[in-house]
Amino acid sequence: MNYYQARQLKDTGKWNWTGMRDKVITTAGDCVNHPEGHNTREEAEKCFYNYQVANLREEEYESYNKCAICKKLSNKSLTTRHGSRPVTLCNRHRNKKNYMKVQPFIPGIRIISS
């Protein structure tokens, strides 16, 4: 199992977004650019959320669903690298701002993958 979550740095007491694979913990996401760490767990989680939003990817499907904003049918969505629930958005609404409306930052992010 692999675990991704905010963890407190033992040497400074600060927080970073990290991944643990085979019991080895490494800094992950955009926190690799913040080696000094963040003051709180929530700041580290927000750093990861912002990194995910900055790197959204578009997916296209054979089936159509309603746009999360206007309910117009669309076969495209935005999702994150780490597989958040895809958000169906039409051509007009498929952007970071609308993704963030539908998938706002909520503290307590933790990802488990096998």
Residue 111 in domain: no
Q: Do residues 10 and 44 share a domain?
A: yes
Q: Give the range of the structural domain holding residue 101, as residue numbers without chain letter.
A: 56-105
Q: Do residues 66 and 46 share a domain?
A: no
Q: What is the pLDDT of residue 52?
A: 94
Question: For residue 19, which phi and psi values (nearest 5 degrees)?
Answer: -125, 145
CA neighbor of 108 nearest in space, from 15, 11, 42, 43: 42
Q: Do residues 63 and 41 share a domain?
A: no
Q: Do residues 11 and 35 share a domain?
A: yes
Residue 21 in domain: yes
Asked if 67 and 89 touch (Cβ cutoff 8 Å), the reply is yes
Q: Do residues 13 and 41 share a domain?
A: yes
Q: Do residues 21 and 6 share a domain?
A: yes
**Mind listing the pLDDT tens digit for each residue in 57-92?**
999 999 999 999 999 999 999 999 876 789 999 999
Q: Do residues 45 and 70 share a domain?
A: no
Give the span between the Cα atoms of 58 and 19, in whole angstroms. 24
Q: What is the pLDDT of residue 83?
A: 65
Q: What is the pLDDT of residue 112?
A: 82
Q: Span 8-15, mean pLDDT?
A: 93
- Looking at the structure of the chain, the number of domains it has is 2
- Average pLDDT, rounded, for the chain: 93
pLDDT of residue 34 exceeding 70, the answer is yes
CA neighbor of 49 nearest in space, from 102, 7, 103: 103
Residue 29 in domain: yes
Q: Do residues 32 and 70 share a domain?
A: no
Q: What is the pLDDT of residue 2?
A: 85
Which residue among 14, 38, 53 closes a domain? 53
